[in-house]
Amino acid sequence: MNSSNCQLISFDFSGKFLPPVYILVFVVGLAANGWGLKSLMHNWKKLGNINVFVLNLGLADILYLLTLPFLVVYYMMKSKWIFGEAFCKITRFCFNLNLYGSIGFLTCISVYRYLAFVHPMRAMGRITVTHSVTISVLVWSAVSVLSLPDMFYPKHFGNKTQKCYDTTSHIHVEDYQKYVIGWTAFGFCVPLLITLGCYGHIIAVICRSNTTEKELKQRSLRLLFILILLFSICYTPYHVSKNLNLLSRVLDQKRICRGWFNGVYIARQISRGLVSLNSALNPLVYLHIHEEINTKLRQRLQGICRMFGLLSVSHSRREEVTQATDDI
Please state the three-class secondary structure of 30-56 as a single string: HHHHHHHHHHHHHCHHHHCCCHHHHHH
Are 177 and 169 spatial neighbours (Cβ–Cβ below 8 Å)?
Answer: no
Q: Give the contacts of 218 (CB within 8 A, at least 6 positions apart).
A: none
Residue 11 pLDDT: 73
Single-letter code of the amino acid located at 50: I
Residue 71 pLDDT: 95
**What DSSP element (H or E) covers 156?**
strand 156-157
C-alpha 168: how far from chain center: 22
Against a cut of 0.85, is the pTM above it? Answer: no
Residue 310 pLDDT: 54
Residue 297 pLDDT: 43
Determine the 3-state secondary structure of 164 from DSSP. Answer: strand
Are 269 and 13 spatial neighbours (Cβ–Cβ below 8 Å)?
Answer: yes
Residue 21 pLDDT: 96
Query: In terms of CATH architecture, what is 9-289?
Result: Up-down Bundle (1.20)
Residue 234, classified by CB atoms within 10 Å of its CB into exposed (0-12), middle (13-18) or buried (19+), is: buried
Single-letter code of the amino acid located at 326: D
Q: Which parts of the chain fold into alpha helices (H)?
A: 13-42, 44-47, 51-65, 68-76, 85-118, 120-123, 129-152, 173-183, 190-208, 214-229, 236-253, 261-276, 278-281, 284-289, 291-327
Residue 162 pLDDT: 81
* Chunked mean pLDDT (size 10), the chain, 328 residues: 52 89 96 85 70 91 95 92 91 95 93 84 78 94 94 77 84 93 94 91 79 68 82 94 94 86 92 94 76 46 54 50 41
Residue 105 pLDDT: 94
Residue 294 pLDDT: 46
Return d(Cα 275, Cα 95) in angstroms, integer. 10
Residue 102 pLDDT: 94
Return d(Cα 1, Cα 239) in angstroms, integer. 27
Which residues are 164's β-sheet partners?
156
Determine the 3-state secondary structure of 290 from DSSP. Answer: coil
Nearest Cα to Cα of residue 204 among 131, 323, 114: 114
Residue 292 pLDDT: 43
**What DSSP element (H or E) covers 163?**
strand 163-164
